[in-house]
Structure 1
Amino acid sequence: MKHLPYFAILFFLLLFFSSCAGIQYLSIETREPAQVTLPAEVNSVLVVNNVVKQPDDIGHNIKRLGKKQFDNIKVSADSVAIFYTEALAQFLDEEEYFGAVKYYQKPLRSDTDFWKELPIQPETMNELRRSTATDAIISLDKLLLQTEWVDFFQQEGVKYAGLTGKIQSVIRVYLPSMEGKIPSIQFHDSLKWEGYDTRGRLVFAELTLPTQEEALKQLAVYAAEKMTKVFSPHWERQDRWYYTHFNSRMREGEVYARGNQWLEAIEKWNEFYTREKKMLNRAKAAHNIALAYEMLDEMESAYEWATVANDLFRQSTSPSSLERRRSALFKKEIERRRDASRKLNMQIQ
């Protein structure tokens, strides 16, 4: 049997060690606080629809194939406010933050003045709270919708187009204890679609463009999901990473991390951090320890180790290095989460 030449052995060794030293990514879910902190006595809320249906001829344009100018078209916004408020009530209920989330089936507005906002009067608010046995009212007080359709080309008799939908809304929280100060939340956003305008035909089904009416309802549900995060603590998915190394202690820490045994991982990574001489490797171990403390929801310790890691990366890498920038972002995120956890603890007590 022939022996491998020296350079081949060296190549395989380098390949082995490079596979053992690197970065492993993972996705985590973080508990984020509500953006608006309601008084502690608010245990139940009522979601209501307090807008007038948008007229069909307001806010919708189309640029047809071969045309340079947009034309105004009619698009029905029927039931969009209902989709919005029903979805908001459902999403809030699913978060299980409030003791009870109720939905008022009947729209409060019976007039036709679309452009005018009419906040709920105190006597109406008190009557709604009394009749539904709720502590506060979350009311959709304004809803403005826009769509813009552009035809791009036609293939086999079917148009390929783009659709942009925009939504603006105002939600107010009515509380009897606010002494006339009504929290108001404004929301502005848009969604875009692109595909074939099949209008019920089966061709190109995988790239079907929604109708403007369908897009409005999707916008409403999208806005309701965003508003849920305003009023209720919620979960967010984020990406994290930890460093791997061919050192036995680092490898043991990685094994524990994969099994969600974060205390044991900290012990091994800390042993490596204490004994290691190379500053860059110490920085990576410190980062791993910070991540482990974050996973244990010990945000003060996580921030302390993220600071240590960032300082070490700053000392051992160039100003433009990816590791230094990545470490700075991680430290900032841990600082944000540390401050957010304090707010969250106040909200869920």
Structure 2
Amino acid sequence: MKNTIFIALILLAGILTSCGSVKYFGIETFTPAEITFPETVETVVIVNNAVPQPKKPGYKYTIMGVEQDTTHMVADSALYDACKALGEAIADQPFFKDVRLYNDAVRQDEFFFQDTKLTPDQVETICDESGAEAIISLDRLLFNMEKDVFPFGEVMAGTIKVQATAVLRAYMPGRNNSMATIYLTDSLFWSEGASNLRTLDSYLPKPEVALRETAAYLTSGAYRNFVPHWEQAQRWYYTNSGTRWKQASAFAAKEKWEEALTIWQSIYEAQTNKKSKAEAAANIAVGYEMVGKFNEALDWAKKSLALFKEQTSDEKDSNVALLTLYEQVITSRIQANNKLNMQFGKE
């Protein structure tokens, strides 16, 4: 939903910019993790609790329409790479004091398709051995790989597609169940061409390499679920040909938001034209957001939206739609800020 809001903001801002009335810009917002660990958790350990997928299931290799039956893939190293990539991505964020990698695979059974949680006793043992207060565990990792080789004009073409799904969980000692469960799914695709099969085979990654790269790619982005992080977003402000509007825009372009706010507020107070007043109110909302005053930003976004609605009965009006979306964004930022305070122990 959050991504949908930001995309819609970009599209609407683009429409208004074409009329020369809006300037939009990129920002970074600090976003809370999906999972909130207690303040006492300073060290986490990444654990491999998955069973490697056997060599045959999930691998299909076709040469010119004929399926090959002598091929196999090895997934053992991919499990390690998945855990390592996740641990490195989490460690890159300045949140936990230490992120460790548990060296031993936990499960010894052969039920690779089964999603099995760590038991409370296992959680206690792993935390004692690793010195961690919490566990992030890879509880299942499955692959489906398709390799296809076929003639394409005067060359041989080859493609590899690897689809991967994973289950991650967070655990803490003293709890009968996991803190949260994260489901991941993604894929990687390779395509090459060569004059003969041998050369083509050297261009395409080996099955094990393709699995390892896909596993690392899949889990490396999952850090967002476990640590606060920065995300890209889009914002905008209205412009006008008036001298004071231009002055405010110049300050905003240099990220001097306090100075821009002062001018936009004076414009708002002096305006009798409702449209200009609504635009000034919207700019004030954005200005307050940029200086971290989210509640004030929400108040001014509501004022702007109300003024725009007074001028039209069309709910699809671009200004009404833009401010409606922005009100949702600011509301989400207030909620996110409260969650961030919890995650950093400020409440």
Q: TM-score, normalised by structure 2?
A: 0.83
2:295 is equivalent to residue 325 of structure 1:
no
RMSD: 2.8
SS at match of 1:168: strand
In the TM superposition, residue 291 of structure 1 has moved relative to its aligned partner by 1.2
Aligned to 1:183: 179
Q: CA separation of 1:89/1:194 partners in 2, compared to 1, >3 Å: closer, same or farther?
A: closer
Aligned to 1:6: none
Aligned to 2:132: 134
Distance in 2, Cα, partners of 1:19 & 1:267: 27
SS at match of 1:79: helix
- CA deviation profile, 1:90-149 (whole Å, cap 9, x unmatched): 111111111211111232233333223443333332232222221111111111112345
2:309 to 293, 310, 314: 314
2:106 is equivalent to residue 111 of structure 1:
no
In the TM superposition, residue 192 of structure 1 has moved relative to its aligned partner by 5.0
Which shifted more, 288-297 or 110-119?
110-119
Which shifted more, 224-233 or 114-123?
114-123
SS at match of 1:256: helix
Identity of aligned residues (%): 29
Aligned to 2:48: 49
SS at match of 2:338: helix
Contact 2:188 2:214 in 1 (8 A): no
2:162 is equivalent to residue 173 of structure 1:
no
The one-letter amino acid of 2:163's match is K
The runs of 5 or more residues in structure 1 that have no matched partner are 1-17, 203-207
Aligned to 1:12: none
Distance in 1, Cα, partners of 2:36 & 2:294: 21
Map 1:170-249; keep pairs closer than 5 Å: 170-178=167-175, 180-191=176-187, 193=189, 195-197=191-193, 213-249=208-244
In the TM superposition, residue 289 of structure 1 has moved relative to its aligned partner by 1.3
Greater C-alpha radius of gyration: 1
Aligned to 2:85: 87
Q: TM-score, normalised by structure 1?
A: 0.83
SS at match of 2:92: helix
In the TM superposition, residue 37 of structure 1 has moved relative to its aligned partner by 0.9
Aligned to 2:9: none
Number of residue pairs matched? 324
Kindly indicate whether structure 1 or structure 2 has the higher relative contact order, using CA contacts under 8 Å at least 6 residues apart: 2
Distance in 2, Cα, partners of 1:152 & 1:316: 62
Contact 1:169 1:188 in 2 (8 A): yes
2:260 is equivalent to residue 265 of structure 1:
yes
SS at match of 2:89: helix
Q: CA separation of 1:321/1:147 partners in 2, compared to 1, >3 Å: closer, same or farther?
A: farther
1:146 to 141, 144, 147: 144
Distance in 1, Cα, partners of 2:317 & 2:150: 43
The one-letter amino acid of 1:278's match is N
In the TM superposition, residue 45 of structure 1 has moved relative to its aligned partner by 0.7
The runs of 5 or more residues in structure 2 that have no matched partner are 1-16
SS at match of 1:177: coil
Contact 1:146 1:165 in 2 (8 A): yes
